[in-house]
Structure 1
């Protein structure tokens, strides 16, 4: 299969402390959970996202924040197919400029290619690629996880949400009768197949080699109702500018994270970071605000990742971990872990070791 690749350097969990994606999925997830009588606001607050922040157009959230909220939402709703519901509740206007570009595009196939090209601006939490399939000249859309070792519950949610949103948006854009030729999931068969068949309206397979959605050539060639070449071209210019800005922001976040990680247990002061970047504190603070974060939040994210890495080393005591991660004492470490995970360091360590197969 010849694929239109996603970004050459897609976001992944290795950069989980950086604010890397728009929170479109989380915003929709909150609405869907509300409809089921589940309030996710306390969960959002626990990972540093309150209602005011969530309303910000400039907000970017990390994969860690997104994954934590998704995992807890599935637990609270008890809905193993929550990803399908969230995907089915999506709409193009939530994607901002990118959504407008897709509506003004030429054909459904070309619009999907545009979405793949600018996926880092859509809030995607999977890595998209697309191209001609090997069978019947179908147009195939593929979704890969940014980290193959991702929590299976979160992984299933993300893939289901991804394909459900594509089908939902295609029906809204070209025809309510749209249906793929086939949808394939790499995860094992669920206990109930009916929700998948009802949503996709086509054969659905599980345990496949990859997560794929195939579209019949006739549907792929369908003209977009809002086709407007001039609007499309001008919108792409703005999207390209946004991508360039995002790369600059990501570079800044990565440099700062590396600097903090290399300096722990004592993180460099904000003033020291400004001097290292040959800029004023005011300018650096503004640049971080444009990234949707603060230096304090970035330092905490790096420290949190360090704690999680150290907890996987059974030979280290909590005092050792507190000292190496830059906490004043064990009590400060316990408070931080409770804030991040809602549990104690001891229980978190037990769960992490069990999940990685280091204990029975």
Structure 2
């Protein structure tokens, strides 16, 4: 998965527009829905405007604050359609094999303004989507739930677009506890929703994967895959050398790694690498901090590791230095963050 900085504007504003339209249906002015996103109504509808993950997160927070519907995320996700995703969506529609479709969705998910990581598994009787919100520092417990519910509903809506309106999951599993509005949530889907599970999982009968796609077209699919590869290459170029540095740092996280060593591993003179990072408006220090903050959030959210163990895993000399850095990244302490994010 190509990883951009949270503030890097490389995605179409589809998800922000969907949220803004859903709020407008409740009578919320567009200016309120877009507050803090730095977008105007004209920009929201422009095919030439690109947005960042940060802007998507701001729009989701606006929705949580402005909506009167406790099931807003789920109801909004159900209004999703494959056609809104451009070439990525057209490839999904034109695939001639649903198992290949699932692989395509995972491989090219970064073309769809990702706020989650996706994994697809097939057991003997079930297809399973595993959904994991990105470790963005602004994703607290409430926003985590909002994102998961919207992603569940989006997946259901897209499955119905390609598999037919009768598609329904057999079970949903959520890491968080439920709330009163989950009663209609379950009634709408007609399947059990299990809380406090190890992962967020959308399960469906694997027999759906054996059906023949209604809109499958081998020639169209091959052509669109080529276009998606071009889009992926363009995206990788926009993310650029910073992503190569991230991947190299990730392989050595927890060990002291200096800039010259990273440059040597990438086969680039240190001066050239520093210049290229500056052109991308970032630096070696910023990338290290970003990577460590991502991993710290994930460890705190998804494991039972102690603060001391996390500090050691991330290469800090002691827990006090880690706590100081974590407060700089998130404006809170590791302990308070864990209490906030865990139900």
Normalising by structure 2, we get a TM-score of 0.69
Counting only pairs closer than 5 Å after superposition, residues 203-222 of structure 1 correspond to structure 2 as 203-222=192-211
Pair 1:353–1:148, CA change in 2 (3 A): closer
CA distance in 2, matches of 1:131, 1:33: 34
Equivalent position of 1:198 in the other structure: 187
- For the Cα contact (< 8 Å) 2:19–2:59, is it kept in 1? no
- Which digits, 9 at most, give the CA deviation of each residue in 1:32-68, with x for residues without a partner? 1100111242452533111222223243322222112
- For the Cα contact (< 8 Å) 2:20–2:34, is it kept in 1? no
CA distance in 1, matches of 2:3, 2:199: 18
Equivalent position of 1:165 in the other structure: 154
- For the Cα contact (< 8 Å) 1:92–1:100, is it kept in 2? yes
- Which digits, 9 at most, give the CA deviation of each residue in 1:136-175, with x for residues without a partner? 4311111111117622222111111111011112222222
Equivalent position of 1:34 in the other structure: 24
What secondary structure is seen at the aligned counterpart in 2 of 1:188?
coil
Pair 1:151–1:22, CA change in 2 (3 A): farther
Counting only pairs closer than 5 Å after superposition, residues 170-319 of structure 1 correspond to structure 2 as 170-251=159-240, 276=275
CA RMSD, aligned part only?
A: 3.4
* Deviation for aligned residue 1:103: 0.9
Equivalent position of 2:125 in the other structure: 137
- For the Cα contact (< 8 Å) 2:106–2:120, is it kept in 1? yes
* Deviation for aligned residue 1:108: 3.1
Equivalent position of 1:343 in the other structure: none
- For the Cα contact (< 8 Å) 2:13–2:49, is it kept in 1? yes
- For the Cα contact (< 8 Å) 2:3–2:239, is it kept in 1? no
Equivalent position of 1:128 in the other structure: 118
Structure 2 portions without partners, runs of 5+: 245-274, 294-327, 338-343
What secondary structure is seen at the aligned counterpart in 2 of 1:189?
coil
- Which digits, 9 at most, give the CA deviation of each residue in 1:150-209, with x for residues without a partner? 222221111111110111122222221111121111111122222321332212111111
Structure 1 portions without partners, runs of 5+: 1-6, 256-275, 278-283, 289-294, 310-348
Equivalent position of 1:74 in the other structure: 64
Pair 1:241–1:27, CA change in 2 (3 A): same
Pair 1:16–1:148, CA change in 2 (3 A): closer
Count of residue correspondences: 269
CA distance in 2, matches of 1:30, 1:10: 25
Pair 1:107–1:41, CA change in 2 (3 A): farther
- For the Cα contact (< 8 Å) 1:43–1:69, is it kept in 2? yes
- Which digits, 9 at most, give the CA deviation of each residue in 1:315-357, with x for residues without a partner? xxxxxxxxxxxxxxxxxxxxxxxxxxxxxxxxxx9x9549973
Equivalent position of 1:146 in the other structure: 134
CA distance in 2, matches of 1:44, 1:114: 32
Pair 1:211–1:230, CA change in 2 (3 A): same
- The answer to whether 1:59 aligns with 2:49 is yes
Pair 1:216–1:93, CA change in 2 (3 A): same
What secondary structure is seen at the aligned counterpart in 2 of 1:46?
coil
- For the Cα contact (< 8 Å) 2:125–2:207, is it kept in 1? no
What secondary structure is seen at the aligned counterpart in 1 of 2:240?
helix
- Counterpart pick for 1:357 among 331, 336, 339: 336
CA distance in 2, matches of 1:55, 1:23: 8
Normalising by structure 1, we get a TM-score of 0.66
